Structure 1
């Protein structure tokens, strides 16, 4: 973003948007592992968040990107095995119990409650689609590849494996559980199903896979936040280009942000927890509101400028927050991402137009060049 628009303010603003959004997303992930182990083993949610959070903060802090990449590789193997085992269990149960896949639940079954309007459902889908497209932890994995060949393999085979071995089976599993037992809803549906229908061994493998899925996300989120805050915000504002200083600041940022996230999630766990999907949607909505327009319009429109990019990010985040507060109070039913995108695009166009006018004005101003004074000897 900084190189595209040639301005440090764009770099700082975009990094700040990512850090805020990922902080919310990180808390949702900590809730997930807390609810998972609380449902299956009976541990207190706050204790799980505190212990597991401390572990992942420590290995992310000490190992950096190498630790994130290595642990993700191991966790992926466990995750895929768990997903496939659970998929077979669900399909078998649906077939043996005389149930039909045509009896699939409505959208409300997955969202933890009734969906007031189709426009709200559309807004949720739009915010997730555009938000995930702006997630830098996916881009970071690609940028960490050592060469072009590896990058192509990651983009091609990695995407195919992720979809067919993880995402598509998880969708089938969710539908199947809702058909088998409609009373199993919310964040505890999958662990409850595994304990009831899976048996000890299958449940243990599947639950280990769920924990791996959570941990593989939390460490990359924390690493992104630490590096972005230390290098892209602090170093940019201090005009520090030294790699050793940037690394030190990134590690300090990782430690502070991680400790703050664990403390915040632990404190929030003493109150009734929101649905994880709903809470995580705030994070992806912030990413979509602040980054989608300057990122993708910046790629497609050569006339996009730094003022337009900053204005789009600031306006997008503010409009989203305002509309989501109004929706929570029952004033409107429309998801905030829809008007947010409109306002963000307008801000981008107006800001870029303003920069263009200033450039034209500067170019047409008369210049008075100094005339050389003849010297007499």
Structure 2
């Protein structure tokens, strides 16, 4: 057991629990409890929100698993991933930030349902897709948390998973998005600290000139620098397309738009995050990954590749700094996990329960159901994570691919194309989601390439169905005009 690291992490978690209790009191005493719980009162500025968004996007797979994933799958994969994310933030800032914030809604489900005239079918379909996609994403974060907890306690992965999952669930159930926002700012700062520390240490401990070190690592592992060695070119394209589209529709990320204090602030939040996130993803891959060659074959065989970054960091730092780094990694994992848990509970409690099952439910009832569902969903995903996926980044990219396939086309056309109607949206969502799941589960396609089939299919079917079915009412057209109003209107 690594006592120094464990003490630092325990102090960090105690602080989070205290903060959660404070925010729970604020949420319960607020007259706008639903907005407080799910959208932090819609008053977060762009600087704070961009740090929180960086933290929510920077998951356990990004910061802990990236080193092992890059070694196993190659630098081209991590590069396509990082560039895709940066493009995604820019696209979301240009295409969806202002309309979503102007809509006055607090979840992407609520926006889509309102835009497409309250279709009961969509009220069920959208939360179901979010539950499947976000649940897959959450499994990868649970695995990362379990591995880190196992590392500092010395206990088996299964016990590490149970411990960290219960901490995550307890915290989110206390204060909702307000608690998540406050701590995500701290977690975003720790994430940047981790990235800078590991990059500087990786450069400082170079055994030879950097270019020679990269070449040496590539000789040991030809996969590292060879384009198309591990995967088909379609995998790199698919990863890029998935992440370029994902920022606009992923519930736990797009919730940051709804927390912004106005539409312009929402756009700035996404723009501020663009370059920083690319640096955080790509820079460690080119400075730390070559050190994997020095771990030794026995270490690489006995430890999951998702643990290799921690094992490399041990060679650079003492116990105190390792404690801070472990806390930073857990912060990255927690920031994504708590946002995902909140997105999942909102999909069931806010969108499904209050939107379909019990439309007359009051604030207290919805919040109570949300807290209960946070525990139910969290524990269910924890149990599924006992047998985790092999590569975190590949797995949660696939989870995002499902949500992109279902939501990206209906969202963008619903904002920018006045012919987009309810029938078209239903057809587009179903065709995108079903084709992705069929391609993912039944066919041996290159990894992450399913999106290259499902996304164009969703667009074609929604476009054709919308043109051949009932036109939108004047009420819908007026609503669309409201999405694009200026901040002062």
TM-score interval, smaller chain: 0.7 to 0.9
Q: CA deviation at 1:108?
A: 4.7
CA distance in 1 between counterparts of 2:347 and 2:448 reads 33
Distance (whole Å) between structure 2 residues aligned to residue 275 and residue 143 of structure 1 = 31
Per-residue deviation at 1:75?
1.7
Q: Which whole-Å deviations, capped at 9, do the CAs of 1:255-288 have from their partners, x for residues lacking one?
A: 221121122213x25xxx4111122122111111
**Given the alignment, which residue of 190, 200, 206 partners 2:309?**
190
Cα separation, 2, equivalents of 1:199 and 1:356: 67
SS of residue in 2 equivalent to 1:182? helix
* TM-score, scaled relative to structure 2: 0.65
Q: Distance in 2 between matches of 1:138 and 1:341?
A: 20
SS in 1 for 2:368: helix
Residue equivalent to 2:175:
63
Q: Is 1:221 equivalent to 2:340 in the alignment?
A: yes
In the alignment of these two chains, the number of paired residues is 347
**What secondary structure does 1:115 align onto?**
coil
Q: Secondary structure at the match of 1:97?
A: coil
- Contact 2:142 2:385 (8 Å CA) reproduced: yes
Residue 39 of structure 1 contacts residue 192 of structure 1 at CA under 8 Å; is this kept in 2?
A: no
Kindly state the Cα deviation for residue 23 of structure 1 after the two structures are TM-superposed. Answer: 0.6
Partner of 1:124: 239
- Correspondent of 2:391 among 257, 272, 275: 275
* Aligned residues: CA RMSD: 2.9
The answer on whether the counterparts of 1:68 and 1:216 sit within 8 Å (CA) in structure 2 is yes
1:123-142 superposed matches below 5 A = 123-142=238-257
Asked if 2 retains the 8 angstrom alpha-carbon contact of 1:134 and 1:292, the reply is yes
Tell me what 2:432 maps to.
Answer: 316
TM-superposition CA deviations, 1:57-95 (whole Å, max 9, x none): 11211222222122212222222222211121112223x
Does residue 345 (structure 1) correspond to residue 459 (structure 2)? The answer is yes
Deviation at 1:297, TM superposition (A): 2.1
> Do the aligned partners of 2:190 and 2:328 also contact (CA within 8 Å) in 1?
yes
Q: Equivalent residue for 2:118?
A: 7
Most deviating of 315-324 and 74-83: 74-83
1:179 alignment counterpart: 290
Output the CA distance in 1 between the equivalents of 2:263 and 2:419: 30
Shift of 1:30: 0.5
Contact 1:83 1:206 in 2 (8 A): no
Distance 2:447 2:334 in 1: 34
What SS does the corresponding residue of 2:469 show, helix, strand or coil? helix
Aligned partners of 1:176 and 1:108: how far apart in 2?
17
- Structure 2: runs of 5 or more not aligned: 1-111, 474-489
Q: Does structure 2 conserve the Cα–Cα contact (< 8 Å) formed by 1:40 and 1:192?
A: no
Matched, 1:17 2:129: yes
- 1:157-194: CA deviations, max 9, x gaps? 4x25xx43x54144211222222333767312211111
Match of 1:202? 321
Q: How much has 1:337 moved relative to structure 2?
A: 1.0
Q: Distance in 2 between matches of 1:347 and 1:303?
A: 13
Q: 1:333–1:38: structure 2 CA closer, same or farther, 3 Å change rule?
A: closer
Looking at CA atoms only, which structure, 1 or 2, has the larger radius of gyration? 1
Equivalent residues in 2 for 1:138-153 (5 A)?
A: 138-147=253-262, 151=266
Stretch moving more, 305-314 or 194-203? 194-203
Q: Do 2:405 and 2:458's aligned partners in 1 also have CA atoms closer than 8 Å?
A: yes
Give SS of 1:137's match.
helix
Paired residue secondary structure (1:181): helix
CA shift in 2, pair 1:315/1:226, >3 Å: same
Does structure 1 conserve the Cα–Cα contact (< 8 Å) formed by 2:145 and 2:160?
Answer: yes
In the TM superposition, residue 150 of structure 1 has moved relative to its aligned partner by 5.2
Q: Indicate conservation of the 8 Å contact 1:83/1:209, yes or no.
A: no
Is the deviation greater in 233-242 or in 210-219?
Answer: 233-242
Instruction: Tell whether 2:409 aligns with 1:290.
Output: no
Unaligned runs of 5+ in 1: 360-377
Q: Equivalent residue for 2:209?
A: 98
CA distance in 2, matches of 1:203, 1:358: 58
Q: 1:257 to 1:133 in 2, by over 3 A?
A: same
- Residue in 2 that maps onto 1:258: 378
Shift of 1:2: 1.4
Distance across 1 between alignment mates of 2:472 and 2:181: 46
Task: Please give the alpha-carbon distance, in whole angstroms, between the structure 2 residues aligned to 1:114 and 1:42.
Answer: 36
Instruction: Please say if residues 327 and 334 of structure 1, whose CA atoms lie closer than 8 Å, have aligned partners that are also in contact.
Output: no
State the secondary structure of the residue aligned to 2:418: coil
- After TM superposition, list the pairs within 5 Å mapping 1:217-256 onto structure 2: 217-238=336-357, 240-244=359-363, 245-256=365-376
